[in-house]
A and B are shown apart, each in its own frame.
Chain A
């Protein structure tokens, strides 16, 4: 692939995970799969610098140590499998100027006034993705972002992320267990098991 590399990871080491190295390039949508317990979530958390870890990680050639952690996490945006909300209404969780992506996932502008408590798990999951995209990250680390969605919404989310990655020259690492989803969206695949990170999903 000729696109410039965006996220470079060399020898990422943390507890309960074999050292991993990988490169994500602009416009790539890489699907990551593997048995549960292999450390996919731990790897994403380390990439977002949320847990103690070591290794060389850089974004567009800039080592992460050279920027504040808050800035790193805005640019390397990690979406956990379970979303958490800290204020009563949806609007309070978004920056003042949030891009008008709500329509893309089937929400109208009124969603901002909704009470978080009354959201369904699917609504939470879609709104959490929009919340992350509002930061305009360069790299998306999505942990099973469509696990609670119906087929129509899965398709909307897949299309939104695909378009986002293209328009922003971003890269995405997408954790999923569904072979047909990998088939639909992946430009490349990675497979993580207890031995480490592999290029191919075993047959």
Chain B
């Protein structure tokens, strides 16, 4: 494995800086955003590197659990922030977070105990990166699906109500929208699986190979990760859409857009 020095990293950073300078002329605000985001990446990843180092040294279940919950909380916030019309109150935060918890945590647990089978199963070198990948992808699927769902329900409220008025159930009235939304939530991961290895070399595998791992081993891990991510994102999106549809209607099957924040 070739060691990267800080000088090597700053060479890569120069490229981002060059991009920012070039784009100032077209869109000054974007250059600023670009630099802030790049700075955040450097700081956040450095900090997490230190945290992981400490975590790996202790290998304590309580610390691994705490770290997982922090990751979940941040992912929940991110899902909420990406909604243009989110549910008011705790639901706005709760639906995405609960769905990610159900799918990512149970799949990570399954992978750690059944597939990887480490001793102890919560060994942080495996548990944290695995959960991170699952949360990251599930978060994208859920955020996309929820945003589409609430937005489409808002735009098509009269059509939904037209069906309710004809005696259709809430579930029937949103059946077409639900199908679309589920599709849009799963499309990124389906595309990623279809293009894997041909168009793109997945990031995890690339990182492993760059760090000196045997390619065939790296590929096996990548395949497992992609399957886990697909299941995680898929079940998470299903749960989130299910919970949101329930919250969009009340016991008398009325469309309750008043529960959404502007």
A135-B254 in contact (CB<8A): no
Residues in B neighbouring A83, C-beta threshold 8 A:
162
Number of A positions contacting B (CB below 8 A): 23
Within 8 A of A (CB), among B160-200: 161-169, 176
Q: Which residue of A lies closest to B258 (CB)?
A: A52
Residues in A neighbouring B164, C-beta threshold 8 A:
50, 69-70, 73
Instruction: Give complex CA distance A118, B171 in Å.
Output: 28
Of A24-32, A74-82, A173-181, which stretch is located at the interface?
Answer: A74-82
Given known pairs A73-B167, A74-B167, the reply for A84 and B162 (CB within 8 Å) is yes
In this assembly, does A114 line the interface, its C-beta being within 8 Å of a C-beta of chain B? no
Given known pairs A85-B159, A86-B159, the reply for A132 and B252 (CB within 8 Å) is no
The secondary-structure label for the interface of chain A is: loop
In this assembly, does B147 line the interface, its C-beta being within 8 Å of a C-beta of chain A? no
In this assembly, does A120 line the interface, its C-beta being within 8 Å of a C-beta of chain B? no
Q: Which residue of A lies closest to B169 (CB)?
A: A70
A84-B158 in contact (CB<8A): yes
Nearest Cβ in chain A — how far from B176, in angstroms?
6
B169-A84 in contact (CB<8A): no
Given known pairs A50-B254, A69-B253, A69-B254, the reply for A135 and B162 (CB within 8 Å) is no
B166-A131 in contact (CB<8A): yes
Instruction: Give complex CA distance A65, B163 in Å.
Output: 20
Residues in A neighbouring B163, C-beta threshold 8 A:
86
Given known pairs A49-B252, A51-B254, A69-B254, the reply for A86 and B165 (CB within 8 Å) is no
Within 8 A of A (CB), among B219-262: 250-256
Chain B interface (Cβ < 8 Å from any Cβ of A): 158-159, 161-169, 176, 250-256
Q: List 13 A-B contacts (CB under 8 A).
A: A49-B252, A52-B254, A52-B256, A68-B253, A70-B167, A70-B253, A73-B164, A73-B165, A73-B167, A74-B166, A77-B166, A80-B165, A86-B159
Q: A69-B251, A70-B168 are in contact. List 18 more A-B contacts (CB 8 A).
A: A50-B161, A50-B164, A52-B250, A52-B254, A68-B253, A69-B252, A69-B254, A70-B164, A70-B167, A70-B253, A71-B167, A77-B166, A79-B165, A85-B162, A86-B162, A86-B163, A86-B176, A131-B166
